[in-house]
């Protein structure tokens, strides 16, 4: 069942595979799933390694640094009281074997953004057990 933030945005929901990611996030640690057999790293988490198909994986903490792979600027709000414009970006995570994640770039004017810009994670605490990884200029 979806839970909602007061502004009308859906809250992230953990499942069996993603729970360790969200538990680490609550402690402001950014992790990716890493295979114990072939060392492949992946996100989002999966029951099996997408490279070798084994189910022997663990969660590996990464630095939280990365760079902007691509981005778009959103000018229409999708929730009540949402500030626009905001930036949705694909970020290549440092030391994560090429893993990219989708998030927001915060504390920047959209016209200042560039592909390849170094960024670092900026945790947004939503509650005692939920923190969302956003990114800002490194």
Which residues lie near Zn ion (CB under 5 A)? 35, 37-38, 40, 49, 51-52
Residue among 97 and 110 whose Cβ is closer to Zn ion: 97
Residue among 37 and 46 whose Cβ is closer to Zn ion: 37
Of 22, 63, 64, nearest to 45 by C-alpha is 22
What is the closest distance, in whole angstroms, from the C-beta atom of residue 44 to Zn ion in the complex? Answer: 16
Inter-residue contact 133 to 121 (CB < 8 Å)? yes
Residue among 56 and 112 whose Cβ is closer to Zn ion: 56
Residue among 35 and 122 whose Cβ is closer to Zn ion: 35
- Contacts for 94 with CB less than 8 Å, ≥ 6 apart: 62, 63, 65, 66, 67
Collapse the DSSP code of 118 into the 3-class scheme (helix H, G, I; strand E, B; otherwise coil) and give the result: strand
Q: Taking the C-alpha atoms of 62, 68, 74 and 75 in order, what is their torsion angle to the nearest 10 degrees?
A: 130
State phi, psi for 44 to the nearest 5 degrees: -70, 160
What is the closest distance, in whole angstroms, from the C-beta atom of residue 70 to Zn ion in the complex? Answer: 27
Q: Distance (Å, rounded) from C-alpha 124 to C-alpha 135?
A: 10
What is the closest distance, in whole angstroms, from the C-beta atom of residue 20 to Zn ion in the complex? Answer: 17
What is the closest distance, in whole angstroms, from the C-beta atom of residue 60 to Zn ion in the complex? Answer: 13
């Amino acid at each position: 069942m979806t839970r909602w933030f007061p502004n009308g945005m859906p809250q992230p929901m953990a499942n069996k595979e993603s729970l360790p990611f969200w538990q680490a996030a609550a402690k402001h640690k950014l992790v990716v799933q890493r295979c114990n057999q072939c060392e492949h790293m992946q996100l989002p988490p999966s029951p099996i390694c997408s490279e070798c198909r084994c189910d022997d994986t663990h969660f590996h903490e990464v630095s939280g640094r990365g760079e902007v792979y691509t981005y778009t600027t959103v000018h229409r709000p999708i929730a009540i009281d949402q500030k626009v414009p905001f930036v949705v970006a694909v970020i290549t995570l440092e030391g994560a074997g090429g893993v990219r994640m989708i998030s927001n770039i915060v504390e920047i004017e959209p016209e200042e953004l560039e592909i390849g810009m170094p960024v670092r994670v900026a945790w947004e605490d939503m509650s005692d057990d939920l923190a969302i990884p956003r990114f800002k200029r490194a």
